[in-house]
Amino acid sequence: MLENFSFRTIVEYLPLFGQGLVTTVWLSALSFIGALVVGIVLCAMNLQRGWLFRAPAKAYIDAVRATPLLAQLYFLYFGLPRLGFVLPELVVGIIALSLNSGAYIAEIIRAGILSIPRGQVEASVASGMTYVQRMRLVVLPQAFKVTIPPLLGQAIVLVKDSALLSLISVAELTRAGQLLASDRFMPAEGFLTIAAFYLLLYYCLKGLAALSSRWLGTAGART
């Protein structure tokens, strides 16, 4: 049993955990922004008529979805130096998370845009709107509503996935737990504490998702 469970050690390591938590939050936030950019570009490519843009976007999305993030992370971590890019682990991690999450976000945005009834688009064509007007005034405002809750769900996934960066020794939250576990041989203290921190982040994002779906009136959207 855990009769030697030491709260004192946890308190002693709190600054380290705090730093880890902060790193996890900002690297996740940066990666999420990167993922949004990647996702929007992929989605725009995917919605084109011609295959020239569509085929590479589809191939990329399938390749990312059919392989584990950890393998992608190692691919970049061991592969980028080979191409002459020697980057800090943290940057490699943010790139990997952005590229990975971007593929999922592209599909979320696409589903949002495709969820707009065809009749609406036809009606706006009939009213003589240009493509940009159609997108800006009719399609995107509605797609935005449908897209926000699953995007927040993807943000939750991204925060959890960021734990893998500890395996390329980025000093984030999980790494802080590992350090306590290995320095003091106290795995219970280390890993239970970071689990609690991740749960905190999870419930924050989950609450945000619930609030947003109430604001946007998309009740029942689950993340």
Partner 1 sequence: MIWHQFLSLAGSYPLALRGLGMTVVLSLISLVLGTLLGFGLGILRTGGNRLISGVIGAWVDLIRGTPFLVQIFLIFFILPEFGIELDAFTAGIIALTNLAACFICEIVAAGIRSVPTGQVEAALASGLSRWQRMRQVVLPQAMRIVLPPLVGQYVLLIKDSSVVSAIGLTDLTRVGWLVVQRVPNGLLVFFLVGVGYFIVCYPLIMLARRLERRMGAAHGEVQL
- 82 CB-contact burial (10 Å; exposed 0-12 / middle 13-18 / buried 19+): exposed
110 near partner 1 (CB under 8 A): no
Among 192, 208, 210, 216, binds partner 1 (CB under 8 A): 192
Q: For residue 75, which of 96, 99, 104 has the smallest C-alpha distance?
A: 96
Q: How far apart are CA 112 and CA 211, in angstroms?
A: 19
Among 6, 12, 26, 75, binds partner 1 (CB under 8 A): 75
Residue with smaller CB distance to partner 1, 148 or 197: 197
Alpha-carbon torsion (189, 190, 193, 199), positive or negative: negative
187 near partner 1 (CB under 8 A): yes
How far separated are the first and last CA of the chain, in Å rounded? Answer: 36
160 near partner 1 (CB under 8 A): yes
60 near partner 1 (CB under 8 A): no
Place of tokens 């085929």: 55
The residue type at 222: R
163 near partner 1 (CB under 8 A): yes
Among 11, 12, 18, 78, binds partner 1 (CB under 8 A): 78
Q: How many CB atoms lie within 10 A of CB 219?
A: 8
207 near partner 1 (CB under 8 A): no
User: Contact region for partner 1 (CB under 8 A) — 104-112, 114-122, 123-131, 186-194?
Assistant: 186-194
Helices marked H in 80-117: 89-114
21 near partner 1 (CB under 8 A): no
The residue type at 155: A
Interacting residues with partner 1 (CB under 8 A): 1-2, 62-63, 65-72, 74-75, 77-83, 160-164, 166-167, 174, 177-178, 181, 187-188, 191-192, 194-195, 198-199, 202-203, 206, 222
